[in-house]
Amino acid sequence: MAVCIAVIAKENYPLYIRSVPTQNELKFHYTVHTSLDVVEEKISAVGKSLGDQRELYLGLLYPTEDYKMFRKLHNSFTDVMCNPFHNPGDPIQSKAFDGIVSGMMVQTG
């Protein structure tokens, strides 16, 4: 079950962040932000070995319960980025994207 889903920009600011409403949203923000440490670590590690560059799944980021379900979200994310009216770097406000995320949260929860 996904409790919190976040899409983070390259500059580490959140493009999209949503968590299960019953939980403490603030805590998730802190957690996701802190987990960027590991993301950075892993991404820089990936950069070193060319062979791994295509590996988009970064694994467990932060030692709690949040896993990053990257692949499924990635398709929807690509759609958002393909929107000619979307300014890359702006927060994501797509309804379709919202729907996908909701689906992922409800699926198992």
Partner 1 sequence: WKALRRPLSTVKQVYSFKEKHHGDLQGAGDQSLFTSLYTSLAQQLPREPMEWRRTYGRAPKMIHLEANFVQFKEELLPKEGNKALLTFPFLHIYWTDCCDTEVYKSLVKEDMLRWQNSLRAHGSADWVIIVVETNDNKKKNKTNILPRSSIVDKIRSDFCNKQNDRCVVLSDPLKDSSRSQESWNSLLLKLRTLLLMSFTKNLGRFEDDMRTLREKRTQPGWSFCEYFMVQEELAFVFEMLQQFEDALVQYDELDALFTQYVLNFGAGGNFGWSGLLLRRPIDMEKRDGIQRGEASLLDLRSYLFSRQCTLLIFLQRPWEVTQRALELLHNCVQELRLLEVSVLEGALDCWVFLSCLEVLHRIEGCCDQAQLAANCSHTVGLWAYATDKLKSLGELCGLVSEKEPTSEDLNRTVDLLAGLGDERPETVNSLQSPYKKLKEALSSVEAFERHYLELSHAAMEMYRAIGRLRSARLVGKSLAEFYMRKADPERAETFLQEALKSYVSEGWSLPVTHTRKQIAACQKLLGRTEDYLQTSALLAGDVNLTTEERKHFCQEILTFAGKSGDQSQKVTLSMGVFTQLTRLQFRPATASVHSGAVLQVELTLRCLMPVSVHIQQLAASIHFDLERGGTNGRSKGTQRQTNPGTVEFHQSNSSAGPPSSSAAGPPLELDEIQDRSPSDNSLNSTGVVCKNTHLVMRRHDSHSPPDTPNCVSPPAVAMKEGAQMLKVQDVTLEPGNNSIIFTAPSGQPGTYTLRQLYATVGQVQFVLPHIYPSVQYEVYSQEPQLTVEPLSEPLLAGLPQMVKFTLLTGHYTVKKGDALQLSNTDTMPILPSSSCTARISNPAAEIIFDTYNVLSIQSSEKVTSISLPPTPPYHTLEFHLEVLCLIPSGDERPANERLTNGEVRHRPRSYSHPDTPMTAIDQRMSIDCPWSIYSTLLALTFYIPFKTKHSLLSAGNRKYIQVCVQNVSDVNFTLAEVKLTEKQHATLELQSLNTKTQQLLCSKHSVFCLWEVRWKDDLPSCLQCVFSADFSPLNQDISAFKPFHYQFQFERVTTLYSVRADILPPAGEQHCRSGLLCGLEVCITRLTEPAEGELAEDSKTDTDGLKTTKLMYEVADSSSNWAVCGKSSGMVSMPMAASATHKVQIEVMPLFAGHLPFPKIKVLKYLPHTAAVAIQPDPDSCVENDSLSLLDKALDDQGDTASIRSRGSVHSVGSGDQQQKGVAMPRLEPFSPGQVFNHSYTQQVLVLPATDDHIMEVNAT
C-beta separation of 43 from 49 below 8 A: no
Q: Which is nearer to partner 1, 52 or 65 (CB)?
A: 65
- Closest approach of partner 1 to the CB of residue 87, in Å: 6
Smallest separation (angstroms) from partner 1 to the CB of 61: 11
Helix (H, G, I), strand (E, B) or coil at 89: coil
Q: Which residues contribute to the site for partner 1 (CB under 8 A)?
A: 9-14, 25-26, 29-30, 33-34, 36-38, 40-41, 63-65, 87-91
Cα–Cα distance measured from residue 84 to residue 78, given in angstroms and rounded to the nearest whole number: 12
Q: Considering the complex, what minimum distance in angstroms separates the CB of residue 93 from partner 1?
A: 9
Q: Write phi, then psi, for 4 (nearest 5 degrees).
A: -150, 135
